[in-house]
Structure 1
Amino acid sequence: MESVRARGEAAIRDVRLLPKAHLHLHFTGSMRPGTLLELADKYGVHLPEALSSGEPPRLRATDERGWFRFQRLYDIARSCLRSPEDIQRLVREAAEEDVRDGSGWLEIQVDPTSYAPRLGGLIPALEIILDAVESASKETGLGMRVLVAANRMKHPLDARTLARLAVRYADRGVVGFGLSNDERRGLARDFDRAFEIAREGGLLAAPHGGELSGPSSVRDCMDDLHASRVGHGVRAAEDPRLLRKLAERGVTCEVCPSSNVALGVYEKPGDVPLRVLWDAGVPIALGADDPLLFGSRLAAQYELVREHHGFTDAELAELARQSVRGSAAPELVRAGLLAGIDAWLAA
């Protein structure tokens, strides 16, 4: 495939060939729809039409009922992952999809407690996941690591247990610690000790904030959890002082435009305040979040930004650089990706 396509008089480079890092991808949500159908058939799991139709489900999670429906669909999909072989397949296919989209580094996010009951316990589950990541990385050539995420709907003591486990496996591929699920529930500061454990163990802090809740959610992630990255963070656009704070501290926002629209946070792609964050100097790393439910992967986020926000190829290249800089990739990997970005832009 040619790296440059003609659109009128302008040269439009293929974003799939743009080297980039992927910092916001959830484990079950990375599954291919076809794989879900096969696994559901294998285990006799009845899938609702929202998961079996081949089309992304219509979701709106800005109210309690909508979020419950989203979570229920996610839980049904997760119930189809029951063996180490299923985990290996999911991770390998996620890596293949990322490579196809130009990703050179992927940090996949997972709460191992969700898989522990079917995989022999918490420690075996994490080891199976890490083994799968290591194998997929070798098979595809994709740099790949794990971000362990606690569930804010559970007790903060559970998060501390996960943080200690994450630190224990830092030498096996765990690079960060997160906090996911409905950010409208629970206070960020309730999880401050868990994040302290993770930071003391050398892990980066990347909690979710600023999607379903407003700017205060982002501020709490920064002040209470000392986040170096914020999952989503787009609602910071509503507070100019917070934007300045993010920019000054160099906190990367993992922006997932397709999921913002799919969940009803914004009505249409052009409403996602990408330009507001960009103009304020906030580092941005585009992410796909849950392609299984939202219907698009990493390269599609760059296409969306190009089409609906008018980002030039030079600006897309800078977005890719910001994703690399915000990652936990080793310096040698960073240097290679950054050189590749420059080469893409020079094409």
Structure 2
Amino acid sequence: MSLPKIELHLHLEGAAPPAFIRGLAREKSIDISGIFAEDGSYAYRDFRHFLKVYEAATSVLTGPEDYRRLTLAVLEESAASGVVYSETFLSPDFCGGRDLGAWREHLHAIEEAAAEAERTMGITLRAIVTPIRHFGPDKAKETALCAAETAGRFVTGFGLAGDETVGKPKDFAWSFDMAREAGLRLTCHAGEWGGPDSIRDALRDLRVERIGHGVRAIEDLALVDELAERGIVLECCPGSNIALGIYPGWRRHPIGELFRREVKVTVSTDDPPFFHTTMAREYDRLAEAFDWDEGVFRTIARTALDAAFCDPDTRARIAKLLEPDHA
């Protein structure tokens, strides 16, 4: 579908095209051949193995220049799918080992690439800094410091990613408080592998305004009603959920019912090459599964833009790109 799209849930390393990672590994004489299938795509067995493959792929990204090239490669793919505004998760764990000086260097390279992509591809990028949940709350505090020290026009949000079954959201409350005090807006992965209670915990203990995934709210209709009433935005990633086996197919994915119940849902790809998806494919499969027309997708894009962690001027500029009569 050729409509302009807004993506709120994209992991930068997880969006790395496999050919890009293979090429970088060859340049550095690093053997990561075991993470690829015969057709050249990423190969993994289940979610925990996916995390291991993800971290192996990320291991070839060893400096700011690698991240500059990665950012351009990812944004080129996104722009080709019609994405005009994207938010990406960045982890100082991968970008300099949570050292503030190294993080600044990586961030500068990513931001330079984003500016180049905006000039040449017409896509705008903003960053959400995320600790890795299964690395623990102490490392998250170091990540929060990196986020707070670089908050501004480009780094606009703070979240929590990684293995949702490890620890509780309240373990990370200190980090979220620091990010909030720095003016960053907040989201958190929940309701993907954890059930409805994981969403409640994130809302109560971290006071986030968006939930990454959040689709398992459908298992508790009182929570669904609460999400709708409070205007909590869900960063839904249907193709990801289906590829990882959370739902058996597109028609069985709860995004359709959540939308019908007036929850603010958005559409994203999460880690697109891992899940053999793109934003264009997500739109096409959702249209096929739920008979959604152009009007529904325009509503979803507008919902995403309203929820975007960007400044008012950027929001107003992107809003013009979503207008039906935009050339």
TM-score (norm 2): 0.92
Q: Is it true that 1:103 corresponds to 2:88 in the alignment?
A: no
Contact 1:259 1:294 in 2 (8 A): yes
Q: CA deviation at 1:52?
A: 4.8
Identify which of 28, 31, 42 aligns with 1:46. 31
Aligned residue identity for 1:302 = Y
Aligned residue identity for 1:103 = V
How is 1:108-147 mapped onto 2 (pairs within 5 angstroms)?
108-117=88-97, 121-147=102-128
Unpaired runs of at least 5, structure 2: none
Q: Distance in 2 between matches of 1:274 and 1:304?
A: 12
Identify which of 311, 314, 317 aligns with 2:298. 317
Q: Distance in 1 between matches of 2:244 and 2:43?
A: 8
Q: Distance in 2 between matches of 1:135 and 1:342?
A: 24
Q: Distance in 2 between matches of 1:49 and 1:184?
A: 26
Structure 2 counterpart SS, 1:24: strand
Q: Distance in 2 between matches of 1:238 and 1:59?
A: 28
Change (3 A) 1:59 1:263: farther
Q: Which residue of 2 aligns with 1:71?
A: 51
Q: CA deviation at 1:181?
A: 0.6
Change (3 A) 1:59 1:312: farther
Q: Which residue of 1 aligns with 2:273?
A: 292
Q: Distance in 2 between matches of 1:311 and 1:239?
A: 24
Q: Distance in 2 between matches of 1:212 and 1:25?
A: 17
Structure 2 counterpart SS, 1:114: coil
Q: Which residue of 2 aligns with 1:248?
A: 229
Q: Which residue of 1 aligns with 2:246?
A: 265
Identify which of 187, 190, 204 aligns with 1:206. 187
Aligned residue identity for 2:39 = G
Structure 2 counterpart SS, 1:285: strand
Q: Distance in 1 between matches of 2:241 and 2:232?
A: 20
Unpaired runs of at least 5, structure 1: 1-14, 61-65
Q: CA deviation at 1:59?
A: 4.8
- Report the more deviating stretch, 310-319 or 158-167: 158-167
Q: Distance in 1 between matches of 2:249 and 2:314?
A: 35
Q: CA deviation at 1:124?
A: 3.1
- Report the more deviating stretch, 155-164 or 264-273: 155-164
CA RMSD in angstroms comes to 2.3
Contact 1:107 1:144 in 2 (8 A): yes
- Report the more deviating stretch, 178-187 or 279-288: 279-288
Identify which of 25, 31, 34 aligns with 2:10. 25
Q: CA deviation at 1:53?
A: 3.0
Q: Distance in 2 between matches of 1:115 and 1:262?
A: 27
Contact 2:35 2:44 in 1 (8 A): no
Structure 2 counterpart SS, 1:116: coil
Q: Distance in 2 between matches of 1:172 and 1:341?
A: 22
Structure 1 residue ranges (4+ consecutive) displaced by more than 4 angstroms after TM superposition: 55-60, 117-120
Contact 1:95 1:137 in 2 (8 A): no
Summarize deviations over 1:150-200 as a string: whole Å, max 9, x none. 111123132222222212211251010010111111000111111111112
Q: Is it true that 1:81 corresponds to 2:61 in the alignment?
A: yes
Q: Distance in 1 between matches of 2:149 and 2:19?
A: 35
Change (3 A) 1:128 1:282: same
Q: CA deviation at 1:299?
A: 1.7
Q: CA deviation at 1:81?
A: 1.3
Aligned residue identity for 1:35 = F
Counting aligned pairs with the same residue, the percent is 33
Q: Distance in 1 between matches of 2:44 and 2:25?
A: 21
Structure 2 counterpart SS, 1:54: coil
Change (3 A) 1:33 1:155: closer
Q: Distance in 2 between matches of 1:237 and 1:166?
A: 32
Change (3 A) 1:342 1:135: closer
Contact 1:59 1:263 in 2 (8 A): no
Q: Distance in 2 between matches of 1:97 and 1:219?
A: 34
Structure 2 counterpart SS, 1:258: helix
Q: Distance in 1 between matches of 2:43 and 2:108?
A: 35
Structure 2 counterpart SS, 1:343: coil
Structure 2 counterpart SS, 1:109: strand
Count how many residue pairs are aligned between Structure 1 and Structure 2: 326
